[in-house]
Structure 1
Amino acid sequence: MAVTVDLVVLTVRADELQALVIRRGEEPFRGEWALPGGFLDPGEDLPTAAARELEEETGIVADRFHLEQLASYGAPDRDPRMRTVTVAYIALAADLPTPRAGTDAAEAAWRPVRELLATPETLAFDHEQILRDGVERARAKLEYTPLAAAFCGREFTITELRRVYEVVWGTTLDPRNFHRKITGTTGFLEPTDATTTRDGGRPARLYRVGAATTLHPPFLR
């Protein structure tokens, strides 16, 4: 039996929730899209393997984003080569660069999640299920942690933060209610002295993420 790691890397690009995928350059599933990942090397721990595979296959360095373990997948027929158990990780970040393919990846790209999940068997192995689970984890974590800020820059406006929630959740939020709830959540946001007009209209205050690790009360969908 072999152990692999796979990564659900999510970001907000072009006003859409997008996932990082690679086009496989080797069998099995040669030429098909898949999540980045690969086999665990001897003497290597799981987080190190996840970071290594991501950098080797896409050129993106793992220290740029929030990374956490998602789940394990071990169906007997999930890999036609041999019995393989994979440990999936989820990574969230803003402003990630355009990936470049490497090692056994023929191509690396950002693709809208809605497109990847719209058609069954778009992704190799059981990666569609892993992606679905990763997207649901991200949506749920936005309810009870300040992780939405991971999709923003270091400083952001309330409008930019609201748009992250709307894109990840796939819904529209009332601006006034959102502003009231978010600014009223202890420790979520830390106001700065700076303003910006990049949202259009009057200058808007810029914020940084605060010290809170959980949201009380949770910000429910």
Structure 2
Amino acid sequence: MTDKSQHLKDSVSLVNSYHKAAISVDCVIFGFEDEKLKILLIRSDLEQFKGKWSLLGDAIKENEELDNAANRVLLERTGMNDVYLEQFEAFSNPNRHPGGRVITLAYCSLLNIQHHELEITDNELHWHSVKSLKDKDLAFDHKMIIEKCFKWLQKRIQEHPLGFNLLPERFSLRTLQSLYEAILNIELDRRNFRKKFFSMDYLTDTGEYETDVKHRPGKLYAFNFEKYEKNKRKWTGIDF
């Protein structure tokens, strides 16, 4: 019988023979405001990227799970602790970090900006229009990470009603269409758009109207999440 201590010694030796790489998490937080899709960025605290914007990220701590690390980063950098984060993809280019080999796990989230107050704790923290990023030089490979997350969002929003997480509880059809146009980066036909959504029968007329708007006040609707949960297998997606 092989000695158990020998097994332990062999496994430790094996792990010690592996190439060492740091692991980090980066949070890609999308929001919708003023009919614009936005993303939350912070000033990089590395001297090499001084003045540049970056995603909210940090290396994981010893004995810390990835999901816990992502939630910790969001809490430490924004003060928010009630945000759903979905693990999106790993980025492992050996040259993505100037300090050495760092593999990062990107976490994506969609939130209503009005419902989540930012508490700036250690650096500049601002919402930026996704469209404005093409003119910004971001730190690390964060522009590429955002672009991949954005493409994921464009696909997912047509397959699932994720976009409603970005809207207030009551919204106009004008605002709903503006959201889809901002994410899909296309102009949609007003009549066809409304026809598609009404045909799915998930919008509830609240009997209320917009206030303090320059245009003619529109009706306010709510998305029936309870009905969707019961019938989500019937959600066939939205093809524009």
TM-score under structure 2 length normalisation: 0.80
Determine the structure 1 residue equivalent to 2:204.
191
Which protein shows a greater Rg?
2
Unaligned runs of 5+ in 2: 1-20
The one-letter code sitting in structure 1 at the alignment partner of 2:208 is: T
Whole-Å separation in 1 of the counterparts to 2:95 and 2:171: 45
Determine the structure 1 residue equivalent to 2:56.
36
Pairing partner for 1:102 from 117, 121, 124? 121
SS of residue in 2 equivalent to 1:184 = helix
Determine the structure 2 residue equivalent to 1:218.
237
Unaligned runs of 5+ in 1: none
Whole-Å separation in 2 of the counterparts to 1:98 and 1:63: 11
Pairing partner for 1:201 from 189, 211, 216? 216
CA contact (8 A) 1:21 1:111 kept: yes
Tell me the percent identity. Answer: 27
**How far apart are 1:207 and its partner, in Å?**
1.7
TM-score under structure 1 length normalisation: 0.86
CA contact (8 A) 1:158 1:207 kept: no
- Structure with greater helix percent: 2
Pairing partner for 2:94 from 56, 65, 76? 76
Change (3 A) 1:8 1:25: same
Whole-Å separation in 1 of the counterparts to 2:30 and 2:234: 21
CA contact (8 A) 1:145 1:215 kept: no
SS of residue in 2 equivalent to 1:63 = coil
**How far apart are 1:94 and its partner, in Å?**
1.3
Determine the structure 2 residue equivalent to 1:3.
23
Whole-Å separation in 2 of the counterparts to 1:83 and 1:166: 38
Task: Provide Cα deviations, 1:78-130, integer angstroms capped at 9, x if missing partner.
Answer: 11112111000111111245644434xx31111111111245xx111110100
Task: Provide Cα deviations, 1:54-84, integer angstroms capped at 9, x if missing partner.
Answer: 221233x1414x4211110011111111211
